Amino acid sequence: MSRTESRAARLLREMRVSFVLALPLVLSQASSMGMNIVDTVLAGRHGPVTLAAVGVGSAVWSVVILVSIGVLMAVPPTVSQLNGAGRRGEIGPVFRQALWLALALGLGLIAVVRAGALALEPMGITAEARPEAVAFLKAISWGAPGLALFFCLRNLSEGVAWTVPSMVFGVVGLALLAPLGYAFMFGLALGAAGLGYAVALVLWCQAAAMATYLWRSRRFADLGLFARFDPPRWPPIRALLRLGLPMGVSVFMEGSLFVATALIIGTLGTTQMAAHQIAILIASLCFMVPLGVAMATTVRVGHAVGAGDLPGVRWSAAAGYALALLAQTASAILLVAGAAWLASLFTTDAAVVALASLLMAYAAVFQYPDGMQAMSAGALRGLKDTRVPMFITVLAYWGLGLPLGAWLGIGLGQGAPGLWTGLILGLSAAATLLGWRFWRLSRQPLPAVVVT
């Protein structure tokens, strides 16, 4: 076999391993995204005002999701590096401190959501949609601690390369939300608030179910996850925060670019906001594939770091990039070819369908930079490199993407398409810089596995 064939065979083997690890994560992330889609479909059937209100409320709520995901992303690389280094006995104590961090984070985020509800009027959100958006946010805020705890629990499982539970409990949560949301929204006549209460209840159910599984499963018995009660200890929590806060900022910078875009579009009227909500939900659902691959790559790179396998780091990342490119090509084709049909699933308003279809063409363009920046960020997390990526994302998203998008959309009067152009430019800058960062670090000696 030639050297080229040997390298190709190695890449295919790595891709198969990454695919098996990533597939449950993709389905798990799709289930989480599906919860937003269920909310959007139910809100659309309730009326355009409710749809716009849930769109605005979901944009604010997504800040909670982003902060929770980002900060608690410290768990998978920490666990995977310990697992790769053969230090499984140290995973349980770190996990128990991560639970304290998740609980504190969730409680704090209740206040963040409620502050966001108070800020809708100063932001200029249309008066027609504002009351329902406030009601939605107040209701869903009770789910913030459940969300953070669930992310912490599933991140532990993913860190030891067991991703099936994330998929199972994600799908179960999605299955619960549809009937609960309908019952609360229409049966109890709670409107947008009913959707918020339904999401909060589902999040707490997912956290409780995941905790029960980790406690009872033999797969985790040797880790002693719940073997004893540990009070909060600052050194390990500080180590998690040192790793997680920059990731939280990075994830927030990307996500808040979309949130800010949605809030700006919310000032342009109900039609533009409703079209944006539909298009961004479909684009975000497509993004779940490279995001799941990136999460799997974090675990694989982290395990290779723990084992001291530098070539393994590079091959794990190469497999992730290849899978992401394939996925984004399929997504781009779907967004271009099926735009009108997809938009019509959410609404019968012809103006909303037409604008949403146009925005999906823009989404097809940013599939590639969005997938590549996600992959590079995931590989860098496996190396526990978080501070420089944080500055890169701040520059790309808020120094370039949002200002240009606001100038095109508002200053030049292009509306939602102009703002989406800003998304494309910001994501492209992040993809280029993060990719260069990983390429540079993957050619240096591996860092030591340190927890505290």
Mean pLDDT, the chain, whole residue set? 87
Residue 128 in this model has a pLDDT that exceeds 80:
no
pLDDT of residue 5: 54
pLDDT of residue 315: 93
What element of type H or E holds 79?
helix 75-84
In which residue are the tokens 């342009």 written? 268
Residue 450 in this model has a pLDDT that exceeds 60:
no
pLDDT digits (tens, 9 = 90+) for 322-363: 999 999 999 999 998 888 888 888 877 888 888 888 889 888
CB 108 within 8 A of CB 67: no
DSSP 8-state secondary structure symbol assigned to residue 161: T
DSSP 8-state secondary structure symbol assigned to residue 88: G
Handedness of CA 313, 314, 318, 321 (dihedral sign): positive
Residue 301 in this model has a pLDDT that exceeds 90:
yes
Residues in the chain: 452
Distance CA 12, CA 98 (A): 35
pLDDT of residue 449: 64
pLDDT of residue 24: 92
pLDDT of residue 285: 81
Segment 39-55 shows an average pLDDT of 81
Q: Residue 255 — pLDDT band, cuts 50, 70, 90?
A: confident
Q: Residue 40 — pLDDT band, cuts 50, 70, 90?
A: confident
pLDDT of residue 87: 87
pLDDT digits (tens, 9 = 90+) for 182-218: 999 888 878 888 999 999 999 999 999 999 999 999 9
* Stated pTM of the model: 0.82
Bigger pLDDT: 447 or 8?
Answer: 8
**Lowest-confidence region among 161-165, 263-267, 286-290, 400-404:** 263-267
Distance CA 330, CA 326 (A): 7
Residue 290 in this model has a pLDDT that exceeds 60:
yes
pLDDT of residue 1: 43
In which residue are the tokens 């944009």 written? 59
CB 25 within 8 A of CB 163: yes
pLDDT of residue 452: 53
CA-nearest of 179, 206, 62, 192 to 139 is 192
pLDDT of residue 3: 55
CA-nearest of 445, 384, 437 to 81 is 384
**Lowest-confidence region among 119-128, 239-248, 290-299:** 119-128
Distance CA 257, CA 268 (A): 17
